[in-house]
Amino acid sequence: MHMSRGAPPVSQVFQVLGDPTRLRVLALLAATRERACVCELCDALAAPQYHVSRHLRVLVDAGLLRRRREGRWVYYRLAPLPAPFGRRLRALLRALPDPEATLAADRRRFLARLRLRRDGRCCVWRVGQGEHRLLAS
């Protein structure tokens, strides 16, 4: 259920936040304030594309992420949510406890991956574990 205005229903937000991968995606985007394509998120989360794409679809459908196509890439960012809900949700995501340092590792991998961008756009596709291929923009 995609909601174009207002905050998603509270029960839907908590259901979405109940999944560790979706929580990691939201926490990563809230902490860095960046947009990300699927391949960048796959590298940041060290997860396969089909797994990340499925969770991105759930987050978009819940109204928590927005997507925008640019050339061959689709970029995801946190959806603008009404105040104070949006502000509080972002603060909550930035303040999550990280006892195993998973979120910190996600951020390090994501920031390293962002350094591969050209002109602020992704130009590298994830081919395999630790293997990347440069694509023409």
State how many domains the chain has: 1
Distance (Å, whole) CA 67 – CA 74: 6
Q: Is residue 83 part of a domain?
A: yes
Q: Is residue 4 part of a domain?
A: no
Q: Is residue 44 part of a domain?
A: yes
State which residues form the domain around 77: 10-134
Q: Is residue 75 part of a domain?
A: yes
Q: Is residue 100 part of a domain?
A: yes
| Cross-strand partners of 99 | none
Distance (Å, whole) CA 95 – CA 103: 11
Q: Is 54 helix (H, G, I), strand (E, B) or coil?
A: helix
* pLDDT number for residue 72: 84
CATH number of residue 42's parent domain: 1.10.10.10
Q: Is residue 58 part of a domain?
A: yes
Distance (Å, whole) CA 96 – CA 52: 20
Q: Is residue 109 part of a domain?
A: yes
Q: Is residue 121 part of a domain?
A: yes
Q: Is 4 helix (H, G, I), strand (E, B) or coil?
A: coil
Write out the chain's pLDDT in tens, 137 residues: 444 456 788 888 889 999 999 999 999 999 999 999 999 999 999 999 999 999 999 999 999 999 999 988 899 999 999 889 899 999 999 999 999 999 999 999 999 999 999 988 898 765 555 556 655 44
* pLDDT number for residue 41: 97
